[in-house]
Amino acid sequence: MFDLRDLYLQVIVDHNKAPRNFGVLKKYNRDADGYNPLCGDKLHVYVHVNDDHIIEDISFEGEGCAISVASASLMTEALKGKPISEFPDSFERFQHMVTSDINEDPDEEKLGKLAVLAGVREFPSRIKCAVLCWHTLKSAVEDSHEIAKTE
Amino acid sequence: MFDVKKIRADFPILSQEIYGKPLVYLDNAATTQKPQCVIDAVSHYYEHDNANVHRGVHALSERATADYEAARKIIAGFFNARSEREVIFTRGTTEAINLIASSWGGANIKAGDEVLITHMEHHSNIVPWQMLCNHVGATLKVAPINDAGELIMDAFDSLLSERTRLVGVVHMSNALGTINPIESIIEKAHAVGAKVLIDGAQAAAHLAVDVQTLDCDFYVTSAHKMYGPTGIGVLIGKESILETMPPYQGGGDMIRMVTFEKTEYNDLPYKFEAGTPHIAGAIGFGKAIEYIQNIGFAAIGRREKELLRYATNKAEVFNGLRQIGTARDKACVLSFVMDSVHPHDLGTIVDRDGVAIRAGHHCAMPVMQFFNVPATARASFSIYNTEGEVDALFAALKKAQDIFA
């Protein structure tokens, strides 16, 4: 049986306790709000995309469960320094990982550390916690003024 | 003697395992489980009596009508309504409140008037009044609560005035367990000429309610929190007020005579029951009330207090746990947050031990805002819960702490 420890892997517990890239950026040119009305998770992401279209800096702040905080922390880590043009693919890859069949192994080579969140597939009510930050970043990148939701 | 084993045997769902552990169902404030007699009443109706009510001349329709109306009579007796004309079936508490806001409120609340509710209301007793106030230009006033999650009565008194048209107050808070002093609230509201709506969604399975002694104008509740089916509830209103109210929805059953020029409305309670109702639900509701009556509120109250005390004692000595809602007069609800674990993670973790609790804002976001928490975890107890199940909850909470240690 799928064990709780597979959801709450040490990496996730660590990122929850000490989230990376937490707080407001001094300099940013995109940002957006994300909100999950069902559980009250709230977050805000800040992105600074430089003239070379590289995500020079990225951060988040807010409150939420361990899965949503760890996911946001891991996301910022994974995307910092990457070209903004790669974001749609990263988004799709993550979205696919957390909604794919449980027997499908995550593409660890491409996903890197993000693969630790593959466990949420076993916990359908928690998938939205993992994807909230990604949807929020998507609306920041697309410069949408809508608050991102995962519902 | 309260025989919890015997009661548990009445609820077939309770004997199952979740992830190989016995189910510990502690989400009774969201919805209660259903005893076999209610399940049987619903299936018996569909197996033997299914027909539309109030219109067929055939045997099935007569039986369906008789059973539907018999349920109304049981409910009238349970709440001590003056007559069955005061008992209106709705989809639940939410629809009942919307009915009152739309029909009574629409006719009686004008610009400059006030509606007074409390800070511990469920969204269903906030939003309909907000909508109405916005629509007519009235003001929504909110009576504050203290750190224990009790209504501050002095503040309530000072918010009450001759401008107050309606006081809407929850009998028992679903998020905190607080039981409000509705007797004195009703008396005070009536003294300034306001009508009173009591939201009994959380209370009606736990406390005896006598609408005549209370003298409340409207009492509303849902069957599914009282061991009955979902999708059915009731509005009990004073006949003298219901008579003056315009219909809520138009359609079949609520009419006496229809021409394209004019419609003559049906008598109470049918005036407010447009369309084919949830017949099986009403019948199941009646059966659920008989089930409660057979156990009796004296026994229910004693047992639930005992269980809450047991759980509260454990919560008080549990390291890193903060209770949200510690009212002196409180029932059946243990709402809490933990230092190191978000309520949502708690919910997932204890679920893997078969323990079902609620994690979230409990459809009472203003309560969360007051206590400055995004959400709480909530264990809510019922007549079929045991001390062993409370132990299972706390063992699972310990496990959650360990994961995040």
Q: Which domains are delineated in chain A?
A: 4-141 (3.90.1010.10)
pLDDT digits (tens, 9 = 90+) for B72-86: 999 999 999 999 999
Q: Which residue of A has its CA nearest to B401?
A: A13
In Å, how far is A128's CA from the nearest CA of chain B? 12
At B58, is the secondary structure helix, strand, or coil?
Answer: coil
Residue B355 structure tokens:
């323990």
Alpha-carbon distances of A25 from A84, A136, B321, rounded to whole Å: 17, 16, 34
For residue range A73-82, what is the model confidence (pLDDT) as tens digits? Answer: 999 999 999 9
CB contact under 8 A, A41 and B344: yes
Nearest CB partner across the interface for A38, out of B345, B360, B403: B360
- Model pLDDT, residue B362: 83
User: Quick check: is B363 catalytic?
Assistant: yes
Contact between B345 and A8 using a beta-carbon 8 Å cutoff? yes
Q: Does B365 touch chain A (CB under 8 A)?
A: yes
Show Cβ contacts of residue A9 under 8 Å, excluding neighbours closer than 6 positions: A116, A119
Distances (CA, A) of B35 to B10, B299, B399: 5, 17, 32
Please, what CATH class does the domain formed by B39-293 belong to? alpha beta
Q: Which ipTM did the prediction report?
A: 0.87
Supply the pLDDT for residue A150: 61
A39, closest residue in chain B (CA to CA): B360
From CA B241, how far away is CA B264, in angstroms rounded?
A: 19
The per-residue pLDDT for B223 is: 98
Give CB contacts under 8 A, 24+ apart, made by B201-204: B201/B92, B201/B93, B201/B122, B201/B124, B201/B170, B201/B174, B201/B225, B201/B233, B202/B29, B202/B170, B202/B171, B202/B172, B202/B173, B202/B174, B203/B170, B203/B171, B203/B172, B203/B179, B203/B331, B204/B171
* pLDDT score, position A7: 83
Q: Matching CATH topology for B4-30+296-404 and B39-293? A: no
pLDDT, average across residues A32-39: 86
Identify the H or E element spanning B257. strand B255-258
Q: What is the pLDDT along chain B (405 residues), one digit of tens a residue?
A: 689 999 999 999 999 999 999 999 999 999 999 999 999 999 999 999 999 998 878 999 999 999 999 999 999 999 999 999 999 999 999 999 999 999 999 999 999 999 999 999 999 999 999 999 999 999 999 999 999 999 999 999 999 999 999 999 999 999 999 999 999 999 999 999 999 999 999 999 999 999 999 999 999 999 999 999 999 999 999 999 999 999 999 998 888 889 889 999 999 999 999 999 999 999 999 999 999 999 999 999 999 999 999 999 999 999 999 999 999 999 999 999 999 899 999 999 999 999 999 998 888 889 999 999 989 999 999 999 999 999 999 999 999 999 998
Which strands sit side by side in the sheet containing B195-199, from one edge to the other? B87-90, B233-237, B218-222, B195-199, B164-170, B114-118, B139-143
Distance from B21 to chain A by nearest Cα, in Å? 13
Q: Which residues of B touch A5 (CB under 8 A)?
A: 403
Q: What is the topology classification, in CATH, of domain B4-30+296-404?
A: Aspartate Aminotransferase, domain 1 (3.90.1150)
Residue B1 confidence (pLDDT): 66
Q: Where exactly are the structural domains of chain B?
A: 4-30+296-404, 39-293
- Sort out which chain B residues have CB atoms less than 8 A from A41's CB and list them: 344, 374
**Considering only CB atoms, which chain A residues are within 8 Å of B375?**
39-40
